[in-house]
Amino acid sequence: MFIDISNLKKSYTSGVVITEVLKGIEMKIDKGEIGVILGPSGSGKSTLMNIIGGIDRGDSGRVIVDGIEVNNLNDDKLTDYRREHIGVVFQFYNLVPNLTVGENIEVVSNISKSPLKNTDDVLAAVEMQDKKHRFPRELSGGEQQRVSLARAIVKNPKLLLCDEPTGALDYQTSRSILRLLELVNKKFGTTILMITHNAAIAAMANRVFKLRSGQIVEDVVNQGIVPAE
Ligand code: ADP
Ligand code: ADP
């Protein structure tokens, strides 16, 4: 079991109001799977992903990722965990605007302990090798997301977390990003967990966890991502 979460709970307190955001999450994902967390706004998707990615902590319960008990790590160990194991892709790409495509990737590979891939390899993997010297503003949204994916995989993460990776893209471009995610998954064996509120996107993944008000209400197994034409 690559991700093994049991009875994970998380509340936020503001003033005297306590909001229980995660109410005992159970989630198991095998190594090499592509999982999707699907749910309406406010259902706890980002909170769950932030805990798995080590940028937030659960209040109670168990979160094990690749044998590491994430909830029990001290702050330094949690930072190491994020750096060594986790790659992230965001909805709005988050590329550094005054760095070229190549430099955006080198910033990450230079501080990584085990950059198993070099800049040219990852750019080739996302079919962006000819844009290495361009700046993010010169690229379309889909192209920026490809670069952001290349940046996430250059450090060879065991787990790739994607928060609404296609949320700002049209349907065809979304399909091509999903096809690339599947390619990364197949080629490098990277386990992928992706947030979406789009049911059509979720239907393309091979595991779908439906979240409602802090609970997994359904765990669906699909055939996998449908390749874009
Ligand atoms: P989703 O990603 O599904 O939209 P979130 O995990 O972002 O849901 O949020 C779930 C609930 O937790 C929301 O009601 C949100 O307002 C609340 N919440 C999220 N982060 C915080 C925080 N840092 N402080 C207080 N409440 C928060
Ligand atoms: P899409 O069809 O994906 O929306 P665009 O029409 O935005 O793509 O861009 C098409 C091509 O033009 C892309 O290859 C992109 O690199 C290039 N391009 C877009 N904007 C600029 C720009 N400001 N300067 C240079 N090249 C650009």
Interface ipTM > 0.90: no
Half-sphere exposure of 136 (CA within 13 A, CB side): 18
Which atom of ligand 1 has the smallest separation from the CA of 48? 6
Closest residue CA from atom 17 of ligand 2: 139
Which ligand has an atom closest to residue 43 CA? 1
**With a threshold of 0.95, does the pTM exceed it?**
no
Q: Which residues contact 76 (CB under 8 A, 6 or more apart)?
A: none
Nearest to 35 by CA among 215, 228, 197, 222: 222
The per-residue pLDDT for 208 is 93
**pLDDT tens across 189-198, in order?**
999 999 988 7
The per-residue pLDDT for 224 is 60
Compute, in angstroms, the gap from residue 125 CA to the centroid of ligand 1. Answer: 34
By the 8 A CB rule, do 202 and 196 touch? yes
Question: Residue 189 in 3-state DSSP?
Answer: coil
Q: What span, in angstroms and rounded, lies between the C-alpha atoms of 114 and 222?
A: 33
Compute, in angstroms, the gap from residue 59 CA to the centroid of ligand 1. Answer: 14
- For residue 171, pLDDT over 90 is answered with no
Which atom of ligand 1 has the smallest separation from the CA of 195? 2
DSSP string, 113-143: S---S-HHHHHHHTT-GGGTTS-GGGS-HHH
By the 8 A CB rule, do 47 and 21 touch? yes
**pLDDT tens across 88-144, in order?**
999 889 999 999 999 999 998 887 776 667 899 899 989 999 999 999 999 999 999
